[in-house]
Structures are given as C-alpha cells and as structure tokens.
Amino acid sequence: MRKLLAVVAVSGLVLAACSKGTTTAGGGGTPSGNACATNNLALVKPGILTIGTDNPVFQPWFGGAKGSGQGPWKADPNNGTGNPYTGQGFEGSVAYAVAEKMGFGHGEVQWLAVPFNNSYKPGPKNFDFYIGQVSYSKDRAQAVGFSDGYYNVQQALVANKGTPITHAKTFADLKDKKLGAQLGTTSYKYIVDNIKPNQQPSVYDNSNDVIAALNAGQIDGYLVDAPTAYVNVLIGEAKHGVVVGQFPTIGPQEHFGLVLQKGSSLLSCVNRAIASLKSNGALASLQKKWLKDITFPVIKP
C-alpha cells in the first residue's frame, strides 16, 4: 500500500556518474564538474529542495508540532499527527538526512502537501522527491522514478481484540478466516498467493473501507504493511484493533522508496545520498530510534 535494489553494485556506478559529470538516470547530458553539486541540480525551485508528503502525516513517520515552517500541517502529537518541518519521526529524519547529503541545510528544504495517490501518478511533479511510505512496484515504476529502498516492509495482520484470530500463529490458523485487503495492493496479493484461505478475501476500494469493515465485524482481520498496521491501531482508526503479527517475506522484498518524476536527473544523486546513509550506519540508527515499536510476532507458513 502505503525490491530493495543491489546498493553495493549500484552505488559505485552512481558515485562515478555523479563525480565525473556523466549522464544521470534522467538521461541527457549533465553539467560539467560534479553533477550532484547543488548548483548543478535541476530543482523545482532554484536553491530549494522541495519534498512532497501527504497531509496529515502520522507518527512514527513524522512527529512534533512546529518546526521552521508550519505549512498546512495542523499537527497534534497527542492525536498521532506531526509536522514534517520538525525533522522528527523516521521519514522526517530520513528526508532531512538525504537533503543534507545532497548539500541542503534545514532552512533550504520546503515541504509540499501532496495526496499519497497523486505521488505516483503519471505526469509532471511539483516536488523534487516525495516521501510517504510508498512501496515500490513495477506498475508504479512505469509512471514515476523510484529511489533505492530506505525501509524494508513486512505485511501484518490487524484484528479486533478478544477475537479468535488474535491467537493465530501460522498460516493454517487463518485458513477458515475471512480476511480483507485493499484492491490492487501487495496485501491482497499476499493473501491469495501465500495464505490461500478457504474463503475468498473481501476486497475494498480504499483503506478506509477496509478498516470500516473490521470495525463493523464484517471481516475477521485485514492485511496491510506493518507500519500502517501500527498507525491504524495507534491513532484508533481500527477502534478495537490489535496487530496480531507480521508475515515473513515470500518472494521479492517489499520496500519503501522516494518517488521522483519519471526520468528525473536527481535520481542518481538521491541514490548516492541513500547509499551513504546506509554505509555509515545513519539509516539503521534512525530506524532503531523511531521504529523500534514496529516489531511483531511472526505468523509462520
């Protein structure tokens, strides 16, 4: 919902491209000298790194109430929402860390409110990159550019407290359960390809309808990526919800990536920044700091 590439192999090529001023991922010639120098970057606004994300944004991805700018984010930390300008939360911290690696100070970052579903639609973008739990998929990559992954994702199961499904430990325990998921998501695919319940899973057009079905007792539980499951329960969208557990990866590893305009010349430089944050341990440290609570028992095949 809301395939980690081989960083070791790619990062060397990226570094070479950025240092020699050769062609970047966007195609076409790049400026002479260091193509990743801030004055050589093709930005939406000169001298400013414009980052898109959804509104509202939620903990643990974003936090705080007020930063160097407020924008349209009416943050209420007590209600689980945050303000990206604070640089708090995992994705808020990652965004500013990437910006710093690209040569931008905190005051040279501008945030833009962009609905999640619009982030990966075809067409011109009014942001330099978007961060907001967007999973890489081949279909989405037909319309936009995806960076290397900054967070690996597992699917998870949300159910109502006190119901029999909350005792599930294996796929076999879910065989006779009525599961739900959003149409066209990796969650639905995981149900039909791997869990293979006896009942056809219920499919819904959007995540709000999935959660409403659980709240109304129309399904036993639903699948969604583990971070979203955590947020659904944290902020009370799933009114009596609990995260039963997470599922092991079967097949390619699902991951979140930064979204850029298709063919953007910034992609090489963004990937260079992510590779550096991985190699120096900063990305792992941010994950440990902000996402320590997103660890659930594994429901085994």
Query: pLDDT, tens digit, for every residue of 230-262?
Result: 989 988 889 999 999 999 999 889 999 999 999
Give me the long-range contacts of 44-49 (CB less than 8 A, separation at least 24).
44/125, 44/126, 44/127, 44/128, 45/110, 47/108, 48/104, 48/108, 48/109, 48/110, 49/99, 49/102, 49/104, 49/108, 49/109, 49/110, 49/128
Q: What is the per-residue pLDDT for 69?
A: 60
**DSSP 8-class letter at 286:** H
Instruction: Report whether pLDDT(203) > 60.
Output: yes
Which one, of 194, 183, 177, lies nearest residue 248 by Cα?
194
Section 40-63 average pLDDT:
93
Strands 49-53 vs 129-130: parallel, antiparallel or unpaired: parallel
- Contact between 125 and 205 (Cβ < 8 Å): no
- Contact between 266 and 41 (Cβ < 8 Å): yes
Q: What topology does CATH give the domain 7-153+254-290?
A: D-Maltodextrin-Binding Protein; domain 2 (3.40.190)
**Residue 209 three-state SS:** helix
Residues of the chain with CATH 3.40.190.10: 7-153+254-290, 155-246
Q: What is the per-residue pLDDT for 67?
A: 55
Question: 155-246 is classed in which CATH architecture?
Answer: 3-Layer(aba) Sandwich (3.40)
Which residues have CB under 8 Å from 12's CB, separation 6+? Answer: none
Instruction: Report whether pLDDT(8) > 50.
Output: no
Q: Give the pLDDT confidence of 75-87 residue by residue, as tens digits.
A: 888 777 899 999 9
Q: Give the pLDDT confidence of 179-189 residue by residue, as tens digits.
A: 999 987 889 99
- Contact between 275 and 14 (Cβ < 8 Å): yes
pTM of the model: 0.77
Mean pLDDT estimate for the chain:
87
Which one, of 53, 79, 73, 75, lies nearest residue 64 by Cα?
75
